[in-house]
Structure 1
Amino acid sequence: MSHKYKGVFELRLGNSQILLLAHPVYVEAVISSTKHNEKGYLYSFLRPWLNDGLLLSNGKKWYQRRKILTPAFHFKILRHFNSVLCDKSAKLAENLQSEVNRSKTNINSFISDFTINSICETAMGTVLDEESATVSQSYKKAIHELGTHLFYRALRIWLHPESIFNLSQVGRAHRRTLNFITSFRNCVVEQRRQNEYFGDLYTKTMNESGDEDFLINNKNRLAMLDLLLHAEKQGLIDSEGINEEVDTFMFEGHDTTATALQFAFMLLANNPNSQERILEEYSTILGSTNGRPTLSDLSEMKYLEACIKESLRLYPPVHFIERTSDSPLIIRDSERLAPKSITILLFDLHRRSDQFVEALEFRPERFLKEPTWHPFAYLPFSAGPRNCIGQKFAMMEMKLAITAVLSNYRLLPVTKPQDIVFVTDVILRTRDPIFVKFEKR
């Protein structure tokens, strides 16, 4: 329908009328306006878990939370997280050793382990590696289960009413999983609060100069949670708010990045020249030291960044954005639409042939030149006031993971882009696993 109606059409589902957009001009009118900032209906399924965290909150509360959390992604804080992500990337490469020369590897479990370990240590300062406590392993499993419950419910309209969902078998399992996640998070937050070194860590990090990570061997690594506890001491957020934001970091920070990396590895396996070019760029920047890339090293890796951006164009993990609005949508100062519900189809938007030359092909080079497409034709991290606050963190994580893997292995194709069949889900999912073959360099 997106192709048939040139990226603008309406659907009526029961008594709901939904405006669906995959045209950059219409998308700009929604994204750049403060009148269409409220999240849509499907996001309400996340409320029992995330409550009024940054993803779901609106108005003044959203603005205040955004202001508190923005420093979490200051370059000095990211520089500090860089050492955690370097360690986790090295661990990912080490774990893949068992897959060398196998005919094919389902990369999903390796990558999702990497991303959930990474976000848990950077968000909460808690290690979830294989060697850690059983309760930590259970937490990792519970995060995955919660996502499964949410997707299961979204696809079954009879489970949408809260009262019916709560009575269902999945609803009861969802409640048990939620209770466990809440108790684990409460325990970690309370433990961190009692240590009371979070203010010193934050202050020291922000006052440091230079590009090297000054706490690289220090057990007391800064976590995003420390910034929230620091804000709590200043009276800017309460304990309930801290819980909401920690849960939001955990939800937003692992599954989307894991999905992005999965597609990136698949594309690189099918494009060996891009692999070699990434490695050539990597060795040129790091020289013969083969040390840990710093934040400034990563920023110089332009071709790697172009590959990631092109992968996000073809396979955006968040493939749609849903908004509700009480205000009419005004296009080019004249045309007016009055939708209650708006869905932006990012997957279709990114593949428009009038915006991207050879739109269905993997062409990283397009991101090494000045964009020829409309500013709102490419939105993997959304845009406007509600853009993704963690996009720099995600790019850093993906760059470190890809360079760590490519430094050790040559990726060979198994799953090809034309093999992929998508299934309806909140995150871009495939019907079948994505397979890659690993060969030792």
Structure 2
Amino acid sequence: MFLYLLYTVIFLCLLHLIFNYNKRARTLKIIPGFKDRFIVGNALELMLSPVDLFELPRRTARKFDKLFRFWSFPIGAVCIYDPDDIEKVLHSMKHNEKALIYNILKPWLQDGLLLSNGSKWQQRRKILTPSFHFNILKQFLVTLEENSSRLVKELENKIGQEIDVVPLTSEYTLNSICETSMGTKLSEETSSAGLSYKNAIYELGKKFVDRFTKVHYNIDFIFSFSSIGKEQNRYLDIVHKFTKRVINDRKEYIEKYGIDINEENVSDEDIFFKNKKKTAMLDLLISAHNKGLINDQGLQEEVDTFMFEGHDTTAAGLAFCLMSLANDIEVQKRIVDELDAIFGNSTRSATMDDLSRMHYLECCIKESLRLYPPVHFIGRRLGETVTFSNYLVEKGTYILLLIYDMHRREDLFKDALKYNPDRFLPENNVGRHPFSFIPFSAGPRNCIGQRFAMMEMKSCLSAVLRRYKLEPVTGHADIEITADVVLRTSHPILVKFLKREDQSNI
């Protein structure tokens, strides 16, 4: 019995040495980080509730100056939140490969633009880039303004109520992405499927977190037979059925009416003819599919990726911005002054020129994206050895770019926790590090749809603020964020909407 125990202890000690004192581990552990535990390293640090899991890197980033490391054999990662370090990763195509953590999304998004690498990513990016040409974006504005108008009318029935703005903005952005990038308008029948789609995405986020925090679920065989694995498959089926329906609807439309993907043939007057045939991102994919440049699976991958990224992240950005504006009456007044200068007493829809004149509103959006970046981290795998803040990090190491923490650094943004849109006025931007504010990422793999997202947010917010005064219910101090793919809260984000007749009502 004694020998058995002795051999067991020796075996466990050998495992500990192999797991935690190999060359990779020793190199990585020079960097400050979590306290190491016997055999498992830092794995137990992740076994937290979703709220505590989100707070873990925040607490750790406050403890260490510019970076910290995580190690649990065989996975090593370095978390960075300094703009100089982040620039080294995002500025170079050598670190183009996504980190291991994104594998959790593979069953959903496969090799879409978010997850693909190398030549596949370059080919897909080349196919999709014309979708966001300025003249094509102009075509989309009519649709965005129509959806903004519907949102404003919907709020008329909810005056003075405490409204959870997350479902509100999610419906707006889902309708918008379907009608613009996908060229498919949600009918009464498909709206029900759209609601199921949105709910499935929220549930998938929870399953992804469950899998991330439970080490044994990282083994595909174990996860596939687990209860959350089976639930994940059920939600994936809902999501994929919805996007397949979107693809089929657009294919039927193209077979009937044809396709026009010349983005240069749109005049300023054309965008106001609502029956004019408009180019959709999906049209470019279908055209590429017809030419043999992308197969059926690739078509599905890109639609799944854009349906998710094009509605969920923008919805989160809008929700947090509405909450931030509701909590600052002076900022609201300045926005309304700007909108009155543009529109006067007119109730007309906004034009592209109008949106370009909404300078202060853009500052307000940017400040909300600074405090609450919907994509709050980015993960990459180093393609070569790099020095971060005087620490050598070897090729192949996973790097997590903590955007949320960098955006809240006091040395980069004075009074960093205060909502202050003035910090994005041109005169206050002088000397700011170009990689210190990256809500849409940066470098070669930046968000392909960032101009569309900003246009969508301006359209929505300007329409709402021309009609309503926002009153706070949920405050900044009430926000409790939970771990997820997109920045989400554990409780509703509540705002009151009151009719605005004139400036005196604000």
Structure-2 separation of matches of 1:357 and 1:421: 23
* Larger CA deviation: 174-183 vs 110-119: 174-183
* Structure 1, 199-208 or 358-367: larger mean CA deviation: 199-208
Give the AA of the match of 1:297. D
| Cα deviations by residue, 1:282-320 (Å, 9 ceiling, x for unpaired) | 221234332111122111111000000011111111111
In 2, are the aligned partners of 1:211 and 1:296 still within 8 Å (CA)? no
Equivalent positions of 1:296-375 (< 5 A) are 296-330=353-387, 336-338=392-394, 340-370=397-427, 371=429, 372-375=431-434
Q: Structure 2 stretches of 5 or more lacking a match?
A: 1-59, 501-506
Q: Which of 216, 238, 255 matches 2:295?
A: 238
Q: Distance in 2 between matches of 1:70 and 1:139?
A: 26
Cα 1:195–1:76 shift into 2, 3 Å: same
- Residues 1:295 and 2:356 aligned together: no
Instruction: State the 1:330 CA deviation.
Output: 3.7
1:32-431 matches, cutoff 5 A:
32-102=91-161, 104-128=162-186, 130=188, 132=190, 134-196=192-254, 201-203=259-261, 205-210=263-268, 213-218=271-276, 220-330=277-387, 336-338=392-394, 340-370=397-427, 371=429, 372-431=431-490
Residue number in structure 2 paired with 1:21: 80
Structure 2 Cα separation of the partners of residues 15 and 118 of structure 1? 43
Amino acid at match of 1:184: F
Number of positions where the alignment pairs a residue of Structure 1 with one of Structure 2: 438
TM-score, structure 2 normalization:
0.81
Cα deviation digits, residues 258-298 of structure 1 (max 9, x gap): 11111101110011111121122122123433211112211
Counterpart of 2:180, as a letter, is T
Mapped partners of 2:239, 2:323: distance in 1? 32
Name the CA distance, whole Å, in 1 between partners of 2:228 and 2:332: 43
**SS of equivalent to 1:207:** coil
Q: Is the 1:155–1:425 Cα contact (8 Å) retained in structure 2?
A: no
C-alpha offsets along residues 396-435 of structure 1, whole Å, 9 cap, x if unaligned? 1111111111122111111111222222222222222211
Conserved 8 A contact 1:198-1:226: no
Structure 1 stretches lacking a partner, 5+ long: none
2:227 alignment partner AA: Q
CA-atom RMSD in angstroms: 2.3
SS in 2 for 1:2: helix
Structure whose alpha-carbon radius of gyration is higher: 2
Distance in 2, Cα, partners of 1:374 & 1:113: 35
Given the superposition, is the C-alpha separation of residues 4 and 173 from structure 1 closer, same or farther in structure 2, using an over 3 Å criterion? closer
Higher relative contact order (CA 8 A, sep 6+): 1
Measure, in 2, the Cα distance between the counterparts of 1:133 and 1:366: 40
Determine if contact 1:202/1:222 at 8 Å carries over to the other structure. yes
The question of whether the paired residues in 2 share the 8 Å contact of 1:50 and 1:247 is answered with yes
Tell me if structure 1 keeps the 8 A contact 2:247–2:282: yes
Give the aligned partner of residue 9 of structure 2.
none
User: How far apart, CA to CA, are the structure 1 residues paired with 2:354 and 2:256?
Assistant: 28
Letter in 2 for 1:341: Y
Aligned residue identity for 1:275: Q
Question: What letter corresponds to residue 69 of structure 1 in structure 2?
Answer: L
* Residues 420/140 of structure 1: CA separation in 2 closer, same or farther (3 Å cut): closer
CA offsets per residue over residues 5-52 of structure 1, 9 Å max, x none?
A: 212121223432211101111111111111111111121111112111
Distance 2:187 2:172 in 1: 9
